Amino acid sequence: MKSGKAIIIKGLSKEYYKKDSSTSGFFDKLRPNKSGQSFFALKDINLEINRGEVIGIIGSNGAGKSTLLKILAEVTPPTSGSVEVFGKVASILEIGIGFQPELSGYENIFLSGKLYGLTKKQIISKLDKIIEMFGFPDFINTEVKHYSSGMYMRLAFSIIINIEADIYLFDEILSVGDSVFQGRALKEIEKLRETSATICIVTHTPKIIYHLCDRMILLDKGSLIFNEDPNSTIIEYQKASSLKQSEVISKNNFVDVNTLSNLKRCFIDLNGASFDLLNFKIYNPDHNEEKICGDKEITVELNFSYISSQDFRLILLIQDQYGTAIVTHFAEIEKSQVKNDVNLLMIFPENSLNASRFVFDVLISDTNNKIIIGYRNITKVDITNDTNKISRFMGYVNIPVKNIVSVNKNKNGNTI
């Protein structure tokens, strides 16, 4: 039964009562309807998920992503509405949930399997497969607390996959662990995808999983506001989140000397030399709006003063919001025995930065690229994009690559 629905959600809502521990007494808690205010973690969600589909559930914090998953996992009941689930569900709201560090890998396979409702017989019949997939048969009798994080996860996933559920629910599993862990987890989910299971993944870093998903849904304040292919949903998500933060961020398009001097960190003794960044500005030169568009020219303007007996470099480091370096650009500055005041414009041509959030650093290094002074996390800037010309979410920057297309036509004139 390949086609058909896996999950049908109808008018699903979840209402939470605000807990006020200082005022609510015993009897208030018994009758939550009569006390305190309530809010909706989920409001009237309607969604159908097809068999074999991979769905990404995205949204900012408090959007209701995890609540939705918890309801599907039957951990918490809905307040109204209903969910129809066709098939066996395995909810992985945490990797290695229920693992006992004191027990061996072998014993944990049984514990975990039983947690997912398997009988001893069922586990035994899958044991060889699980251990084979785990890939460290020599360690199967070692206590799990001695495992590396990679082994731990491999064990968890080899159990999960062998549960042979029809529907898998993953909650934020990609946000724990380092990037190596993330990469491994993604690979494991890819494997799972090949088994034609239905998969729901909750994440706030949609860029990592968009290639896995057939569809993404965007939740905002408990409502399902977008339900399309991953590309469009991510763009919508970024629009929504940059709108929310626009007031806060726009102020940071200009950073003054006070803020900058607080950020300044010297890594070595300057030996009589000095460098002071006086201000940092980022703007579109041809229009005066507070928002910054990536499809127009962008100027980063720096004012600084320095005294130095050596030539040095001023480096502008652009990172994404998770601190991953995206682009660096630098300017060579000549030595000067007297105090120099400099105004430096770094001009990014139009369509070089894609719509996303960027974090700016200014670093000073000597000519051997040894960092001397750092101004970290000067400002966060949301770059927007007014036209739909380029796929804005596909990466952070746009490199002007030339396409050379040559078409070979065969004799009949049909293109191959």
- Contact set with other proteins (CB under 8 A): 1, 16, 26, 29-30, 70-89, 91, 93-94, 97-98, 100, 102-103, 107, 110-111, 114-115, 117-120, 166
Question: Distance between CA atoms of 72 and 76, rounded to whole angstroms?
Answer: 8
Residue 342 dihedral angles phi and psi, to the nearest 5°: -125, 140
Rg of the chain, C-alpha, whole Å:
27
CA atoms of 358 and 236, how far apart (whole Å): 18
Q: For 207-242, give one letter per residue: b (16+ CB within 10 A) or e.
A: bbbbebbebbbbbbebbbbbbeebeebbbbbbbbbb
Question: Closer CB to other proteins, residue 85 or residue 298?
Answer: 85
**Nearest CB to other proteins, comparing residues 67 and 233:** 67
State in angstroms the smallest separation of the CB of 406 from other proteins.
52
| Closer to other proteins by Cβ: residue 116 or 226 | 116
H/E run at residue 69: helix 65-72
> Which residue has tokens 């497969």?
129
C-alpha to C-alpha distance for 163 and 169, rounded to whole angstroms = 13
CA 303 to chain centre: 34
Name the strand (E) or helix (H) holding 385.
none
Write down the least CB distance from residue 366 to other proteins, Å.
51
Q: Least CB distance from residue 96 to other proteins, whole Å?
A: 11
Query: Least Å distance between CB 354 and other proteins?
Result: 36
Cβ-Cβ contacts under 8 Å for 195 (sequence gap 6 or more): 161, 164
Return the number of the residue (107 or 276) whose C-beta is nearest other proteins. 107
- Shortest distance, position 92 Cβ to other proteins, whole Å: 9
Which pair of structure tokens corresponds to residue 28? 């208030």
Q: How far is the CB of 123 from other proteins (least distance, A)?
A: 8
Residue (82 or 391) nearer to other proteins, CB:
82
Place of tokens 């977008």: 226
Of the pair 109, 282, the CB lying nearest other proteins is at 109
Which one, 79 or 241, has the nearer CB to other proteins?
79
Please state, in angstroms and as integers, the Cα–Cα distance from residue 287 to each residue in 46, 284, 291, following that order. Answer: 42, 6, 10
Nearer to other proteins, 118 or 383 (CB): 118
- 387-393-396-401 Cα dihedral, nearest 10 degrees: -70
Q: 192 in the Ramachandran plot: left (φ > 0), alpha (ψ -120 to 50) or beta?
A: alpha
Rounded to a whole number of angstroms, the minimum distance from the CB of residue 41 to other proteins is 10
Nearest to 365 by CA among 310, 314, 305: 314
User: In whole angstroms, how close is the CB of 315 to other proteins at the nearest point?
Assistant: 44
DSSP 411: T
User: How would you class 168 by CB atoms within 10 Å of its CB: exposed for 0-12, middle for 13-18, buried for 19 or more?
Assistant: buried
Nearer to other proteins, 81 or 376 (CB): 81
CB of 110 to other proteins, least distance (A): 6
Contact 155, 109 (CB under 8 A): yes
Residue 77 beta carbon to other proteins: minimum distance, rounded to whole angstroms? 4
Nearer to other proteins, 79 or 149 (CB): 79
Q: CA of 326: how far to CAs of 70, 122, 317, 359, 378, in Å? A: 36, 49, 8, 10, 16
